Amino acid sequence: MKIKLRGGVSLAEQISFYRQLAVILRSGLPLLNALQLLQKHGSAKQMLLCYRLQQRLRRGSSLAQALAAEADCCTQLAVTLVAVGEESGELATLLEQLADYYSRQLKLRRFVQRAVTYPAFLLLASFCVLLLFLLYILPVLADTYSAMGVLPMGTLALLLTLKDALLQQPLAALALTAGVAAALFLLGRRLLRCFLRSRLSGNFHGLLLEVRFCRLLALLLESGVGITRAVAIVTDTMDDEQYAGQLRLLNSRLKRGIAIEQAAGGAKELFSPLMLELVCVGASTGYLPQMLQEAVTAGEQRMQQQLGRLQELMVPLLLLVAAIIIAGIVCIVIGPLFEMLSAMPE
């Protein structure tokens, strides 16, 4: 009977699995015994993954082959590094490096997600202020207008009708509020993501891809993977088709025997000037993986600076938009009062 993993294993769980497996292997325990130990103390998904890996290992598969069969849990990168580790006898070291790589990727992902979520919360807070005004302040003004004999017209009448409908159907109002709030939250995140992909953000998306490329290529080269194979593996992990196409072009130049510094110089769309300079220095000195790591550090610092500047620009802009909307509704609500006061004789 084949048991299927539903939803796969999260990145955090993969990091824990690879790191714990590396520690146990370093202690001298055989691979099968290490997986049995992890199966006893891991999460439900990890326990099931360890069980299935053990079954394949007992049937004669290598760990890399067993991981390759778990496509919903393990990436091609993990399979490649584990295969290299098994061939070189440095499986524990490669597993540690893999866990470190995923840890840095997870940290970077969470950093970007926090930056993207903040403007979405501002939109959500603005909607809550509008809802508070509609349900609690508007009824007071409506009673005042009714006592003064003022008949609501136009947009004000529409707002009062909406208020009455929400108060008469509280469950529908709650569902509508939750739906609008969720839509605004997702809209805010989507707008910022689109902005980060545009040139207006200072090519933040390109910088993010560059950092990912440098980190992954450095890891593969340090693991003993050849340059052309490493670039091919990195290309397969890229979800941006345009960037992946540029990487395929770079790899074709490398396969024709062109030095990496010359091949990279002919693909300037892939690299920033600093990155290109570090690649050239690393290739000429024989310290390419180390220079790629330096490029990663520099790229992450630039991303943090760009996100900080973007937040400084977007927060006042979003607050201004929210203030304009609220001010417009306030003017609509108190407009009849001003008209009545202006019509009174002096």
Domains assigned to the chain = 12-104 (1.20.81.30), 118-345 (1.20.81.30)
Please name the residue that has the structure tokens 């979800």.
Answer: 239
Q: Which residues contact 296 (CB under 8 A, 6 or more apart)?
A: 211, 214, 215, 218
67's CB contacts (< 8 A; 6+ apart) are: 53, 73, 74, 78, 79, 82
Going by the DSSP 8-state scheme, the letter that residue 272 receives in this structure is -
Q: What is the pLDDT of residues 103-121, one digit of tens each?
A: 888 887 787 777 767 766 7
Of the given ranges (24-28, 210-214, 245-249, 325-329), which has the lowest mean pLDDT? 325-329
Reported as a pLDDT band with limits 50, 70 and 90, residue 56 is very high
- C-beta separation of 157 from 214 below 8 A: no
pLDDT in tens, 158-194: 667 777 776 777 777 677 777 776 776 676 667 666 6
**DSSP type of residue 133:** I
DSSP structure string for 15-39 = HHHHHHHHHHHHTT--HHHHHHHHH
Q: pTM of this prediction? A: 0.65
Instruction: Of 15-19, 40-44, 122-126, give the lowest mean pLDDT range.
Output: 122-126
Give the mean model confidence (pLDDT) for residues 43-56. Answer: 88
Tokens for 195, please give them.
């902005």
